[in-house]
Amino acid sequence: MTLTGSGGCQGSGTSFDGNGGLLTVATAPGGGGASSSRPLEVDRNGTVHWHGNTSTVITHHSWWVHVDGFPAKSGGSANNSHSTHASGVEHVGNYLPSWLGLTGTFYVNGQISGTGGKCAGA
């Protein structure tokens, strides 16, 4: 996992299998990031707990996440609270449904940009 941008970007992802067992942790910057040789393993029935923060406030932002070049999720916010962090839990099956029958390694990247900065990661 690499992060670049003008907002002092940091991020992490922790994946769990469908029974709640820990699979993989990736953090950036500072090592421990995911890569093609050390991917963030996910379970179709599991979850990914994520956290991101910036050293500057980014307001009136938009963000997106792509999986292998396909849009997976996007959004935005005025960020009137001037928060510098966000976190959440994503259910992998929402992005890789079982009826697709896909397995393998997928490239995931995303970006947030707005007034005050921009961060991109993969």
Tens place of pLDDT per residue across the chain (122 aa): 555 555 688 889 999 999 999 999 988 886 667 777 888 899 999 999 999 999 999 999 999 999 888 898 999 999 999 999 999 999 998 887 777 777 888 888 889 999 999 998 88
> pTM to 2 decimals?
0.86
Least Cα distance to 60 among 72, 78, 47 occurs for 78
Domain 3-97+106-121 CATH (choose: 3.30.420, 2.60.40, 3.40.50, 2.40.30): 2.60.40
Map out the domains of the chain as residue ranges: 3-97+106-121
Query: Residue 71, preceding bond cis, omega within 30 degrees?
Result: no
User: Which residues, at least 6 apart from 82, have a Cβ–Cβ distance to it below 8 Å?
Assistant: 57, 59
